[in-house]
Amino acid sequence: MSVVAFAQLLLPDSPYAMWVRGELEEYLRLPDDGTRVEVVGGEIVVSPAPAVTHAVFLAHIERAIDRAGVPDPAFPWRALQMVNLDLVGVGDGYIPDIVVVDAEVEERALASTVVRLYPHEIGMAIEVTSESNARHDRRPMFGRQVKPTKWSGYARTGIPYYLLVDRDPRQPGVTLFGEPNKAEGTYEVLGEWKFGETVRLPEPFDVEISAEKWKSWDA
166 CB contacts (<8 Å, ≥6 apart)? 129, 134, 137, 138, 172, 173, 174, 175
All structural domains of the chain, each given as residue ranges with its CATH number in brackets, are 50-210 (3.90.1570.10)
Element housing 58 (H / E): helix 52-68
Burial class (CB in 10 A: 0-12, 13-18, 19+), 66: middle
Percent of the chain past pLDDT 90, that is, above it, reads: 78
- pLDDT per position as a tens digit, 43-62: 999 998 889 999 999 999 99
Provide mean pLDDT across the span 151-166. 98
Local confidence band at 104 (pLDDT 50, 70, 90 cut-offs): very high
Residue 3's pLDDT is: 43
Residue 119's pLDDT is: 98
Provide mean pLDDT across the span 140-161. 88
Residue 143's pLDDT is: 56
pLDDT, mean over the chain = 92
Check pLDDT > 60 for residue 64. yes
Check pLDDT > 50 for residue 88. yes
Q: Is the dihedral of CA 185, 127, 35, 22 positive or negative?
A: negative
Q: Is the dihedral of CA 18, 49, 4, 143 positive or negative?
A: positive
